[in-house]
């Protein structure tokens, strides 16, 4: 049975698909619009030309027939009248002239023997002289000069007019040699109706052509865009890391060549990534194996150096003053080597994806106080952390982050270092600010890079160049972030932002979980400012900024 939420999701997906196809930036819509515009232009042009040609043909044919009959009637009827006819004679002649298959009305105008104007109308005064345009009357009654090109003094003239929204054809002629002047009027309404029917037919044809072009455009767009859509889907899958994605190739056109090129590119990319992954995995394994192998001799060396350091601090004189500097150097370098090995192991865990959270509800103020107290930084750090801010985080990893940030500020910025804690919504924000010269602008984007040194002339420093990188990875595994910036009044500020409720990442059934073979080394419980297993003996052993 289909659930209501499933139906809603289906409707939402269909709506998104339709809206995606209707976007003006959509290639499908643009193809349909272009096809439609081309078809519309062609159909309108063809319809307009056809309408104009048919209109002229219909009107010319009707006009020619009507004027021909009128001219013939003038020659056979009006010309036989006396030079000064009576009104009855004009009326009778007009009726005979109008008795034609063309169904036009006739008006005859002449002068009687007394010089009065008399008129004869075939339609009982429905067609009067006022219905004849003044320009036409003037042209009809104007006597023309006889020349080689003009054999007659009077000619037949016509004009199309509109009366009461109805079209008419009006013509006129005068009998040569003296006699009445005749006018005719013919309604063109039947022809106008025929032309309107033709216009409607052409409009419907234009609409059908537009619809047909849209359907053809849709079919063409589907044919063209289907391979493009498959290519886009394959490219997205390839971008998501599914390097085994391939396209089915059919045909020999340009899209088929593009699909073949994509397949060759994906195959080469898969091979290249596989080679790089194999080399990277071998490199990680080498670093991890080397770190584990170094820990055994380092454990013995560390024990010896601790004894030597205790002898140096005891001031009993058991150590020869001549070799005391060498002993102190051995102790310092052993500690540095131990820190480097521990950092390399931590980085290897992050790269291998075996780092896990062991979360607990902790009071942030207590956690920061314990971190500062464990490293004897209480008199160099100003802590502004109200009690009662509880967070579900991994205490050991938070200690690593704080040790690196505070130690870095002490080493490069100098005391006092100010640590401010506040809760913003569902986030925990910890700002560590020093009062030093700040971070150079060209160095600021690289402070979290591994082994980054700000000066190439000082490639070797007391730190490993991994402290801030490890701190950032520990923030990321919590779902948080660390940012670095300079403050206007001097100094640098590192801002740690973590969610107050970090989801538990520990999986008891995971063989690579906290209790599995891939778990982190339980020896890494206390960290100095570099995030390592040895506590600092002074403030000068803080974490490096990686510069």
- Local structure of residue 165 (DSSP, 8 states): T
pLDDT attached to residue 431: 92
**Residue 262 reports pLDDT greater than 90:** no
pLDDT attached to residue 420: 92
What's the token pair of residue 103?
């169904």
Confidence of residue 15 (pLDDT cuts 50, 70, 90): low
Neighbours of 20 (CB within 10 A): 12
* Residue 84 near residue 110 (C-beta atoms within 8 A): yes
d(CA 29, CA 218): 9
Residue entry with tokens 């023309």: 144
d(CA 68, CA 101): 12
pLDDT attached to residue 494: 92
Q: What one-character-per-residue DSSP string does 374-418 give? A: HTT-TTTEEEE--TT-EEEE-HHHHHHHHHHHHHHHHHHT-SPEE
pLDDT attached to residue 198: 82
**Residue 461 reports pLDDT greater than 70:** no
* Residue 69 near residue 102 (C-beta atoms within 8 A): yes
Residue ranges of alpha helices (H) inside 115-253 are: 134-141, 189-239
DSSP-derived pairing of the beta strands 417-424 and 381-384? parallel
Confidence of residue 468 (pLDDT cuts 50, 70, 90): confident
Q: Minimal CA–CA distance to 547: which of 473, 440, 470, 431?
A: 440
pLDDT attached to residue 419: 92
pLDDT attached to residue 481: 92
Query: Which residues touch 267 (CB under 8 Å, ≥6 apart)?
Result: 246
Domains in the chain: boundaries: 23-200, 244-352, 360-455+464-499
Confidence of residue 4 (pLDDT cuts 50, 70, 90): low
Q: Phi and psi at residue 150, in whole multiples of 5°? A: -130, 110
Confidence of residue 525 (pLDDT cuts 50, 70, 90): very low
Q: What's the full length of the chain, in residues?
A: 547
Question: In which region does residue 37 sit, left (phi positive, over 0), alpha (psi from -120 to 50) or beta (all else)?
Answer: alpha
User: Which of 65-79, 203-217, 236-250 has the lowest average pLDDT?
Assistant: 203-217
> Edge to edge, what strands does the sheet with 481-486 contain?
381-384, 417-424, 427-433, 492-499, 481-486
> Edge to edge, what strands does the sheet with 166-174 contain?
117-121, 105-111, 181-187, 166-174, 157-163
* Residue 489 near residue 363 (C-beta atoms within 8 A): no
**Residue 43 reports pLDDT greater than 70:** yes
Chain segment 20-32, per-residue pLDDT in tens: 444 445 667 777 7
* Residue 466 near residue 451 (C-beta atoms within 8 A): yes
User: Which of 211-220, 262-271, 397-406, 515-524 has the lowest average pLDDT?
Assistant: 515-524
Chain segment 378-389, per-residue pLDDT in tens: 888 888 888 888
The class (CATH top level) of 23-200 is alpha beta
What's the token pair of residue 369?
């106080």
Residue ranges of alpha helices (H) inside 240-253 are: none
* Three-class secondary structure of residue 237 per DSSP: helix
What topology is assigned to 244-352 in CATH? Helix Hairpins (1.10.287)
d(CA 330, CA 318): 17
pLDDT attached to residue 539: 35
pLDDT above 90: percentage of residues in the chain:
5
Confidence of residue 100 (pLDDT cuts 50, 70, 90): confident
* Residue 319 near residue 262 (C-beta atoms within 8 A): no
Angle between helix axes 254-314 and 324-352 (nearest 10 degrees) is 150
pLDDT attached to residue 504: 55
Average pLDDT over the chain reads 77
Query: Which residues touch 526 (CB under 8 Å, ≥6 apart)?
Result: 374, 399, 533, 534, 535
User: Which of 137-151, 394-408, 467-481, 529-543 has the lowest average pLDDT?
Assistant: 529-543
* Three-class secondary structure of residue 108 per DSSP: strand
Chain segment 301-352, per-residue pLDDT in tens: 778 777 777 777 766 666 677 777 787 787 777 777 777 677 666 777 666 6
* Three-class secondary structure of residue 291 per DSSP: helix
d(CA 107, CA 101): 17
* Residue 66 near residue 102 (C-beta atoms within 8 A): yes
> Does domain 360-455+464-499 sit in CATH 3.30.565.10?
yes
Radius of gyration of the chain (CA): 52
Chain segment 230-250, per-residue pLDDT in tens: 888 888 888 888 888 888 887
């Amino acid at each position: 049975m289909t659930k209501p939420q499933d139906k809603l999701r289906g409707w939402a997906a269909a709506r998104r698909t339709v809206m995606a196809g209707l976007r003006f930036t959509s290639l499908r819509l643009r193809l349909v619009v272009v096809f439609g515009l081309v078809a519309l232009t062609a159909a309108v042009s063809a319809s307009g030309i056809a309408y104009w040609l048919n209109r002229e043909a219909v009107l010319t044919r009707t006009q020619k027939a009507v004027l021909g009959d009128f001219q013939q009637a003038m020659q056979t009827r009006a010309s036989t009248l006396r030079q000064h006819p009576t009104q009855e004679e004009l009326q009778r002649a007009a009726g005979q002239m109008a008795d034609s298959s063309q169904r036009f009305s006739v008006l005859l105008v002449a002068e009687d023997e007394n010089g009065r104007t008399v008129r004869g109308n075939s339609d009982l005064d429905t067609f009067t002289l006022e219905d004849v345009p003044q320009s036409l009357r003037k042209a009809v009654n104007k006597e023309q000069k006889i020349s080689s090109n003009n054999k007659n003094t009077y000619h037949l003239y016509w004009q199309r007019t509109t009366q009461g929204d109805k079209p008419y054809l009006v013509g006129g002629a005068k009998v040569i040699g003296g006699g009445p002047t005749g006018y005719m009027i013919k309604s063109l309404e039947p022809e106008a109706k025929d032309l309107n029917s033709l216009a409607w037919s052409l409009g419907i044809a234009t609409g059908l052509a537009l619809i047909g072009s849209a359907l053809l455009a849709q079919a063409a767009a589907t044919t063209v865009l289907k391979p493009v859509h498959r290519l886009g889907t394959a490219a997205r899958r390839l971008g998501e890391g599914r390097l085994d994605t391939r396209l089915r190739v059919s045909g020999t056109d340009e899209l088929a060549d593009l699909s073949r090129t994509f397949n060759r590119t994906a195959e080469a990319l898969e091979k290249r990534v596989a080679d790089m992954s194999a080399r990277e995995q071998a490199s990680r394994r080498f670093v991890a194996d080397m770190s584990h192998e170094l820990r055994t001799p380092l454990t013995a060396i560390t024990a010896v150096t601790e004894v030597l350091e205790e002898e140096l601090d005891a001031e009993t004189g058991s150590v020869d003053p001549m070799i005391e500097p060498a002993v102190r150097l051995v102790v310092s370098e052993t500690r540095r080597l131990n820190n480097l090995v521990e950092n390399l192991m931590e980085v290897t865990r992050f790269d291998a994806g075996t780092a896990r959270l062991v979360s607990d509800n902790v009071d942030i103020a207590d956690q920061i106080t314990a971190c500062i107290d464990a490293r004897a930084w209480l008199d160099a750090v100003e802590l502004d952390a109200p009690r009662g801010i509880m967070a579900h985080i991994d205490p050991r990893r938070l200690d690593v982050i704080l040790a690196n940030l505070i130690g870095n500020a002490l080493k490069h910025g100098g005391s006092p270092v100010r640590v401010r804690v506040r809760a913003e919504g569902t986030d925990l924000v910890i700002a560590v600010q020093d009062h030093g010269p700040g971070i150079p602008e060209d160095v600021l984007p690289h402070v979290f890079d591994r082994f980054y040194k700000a000066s190439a002339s000082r490639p070797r420093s007391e730190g490993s160049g991994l402290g801030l990188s490890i701190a950032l990875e520990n923030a990321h595994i919590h779902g948080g972030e660390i940012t670095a910036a300079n403050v206007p009044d001097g100094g640098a500020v590192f801002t740690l932002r973590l969610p107050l409720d970090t989801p538990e990442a520990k999986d008891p059934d995971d063989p690579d979980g906290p209790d599995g073979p891939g778990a982190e080394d339980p020896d890494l419980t206390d960290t100095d400012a570099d995030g390592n297993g040895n506590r600092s003996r002074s403030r000068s052993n803080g974490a490096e900024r990686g510069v």
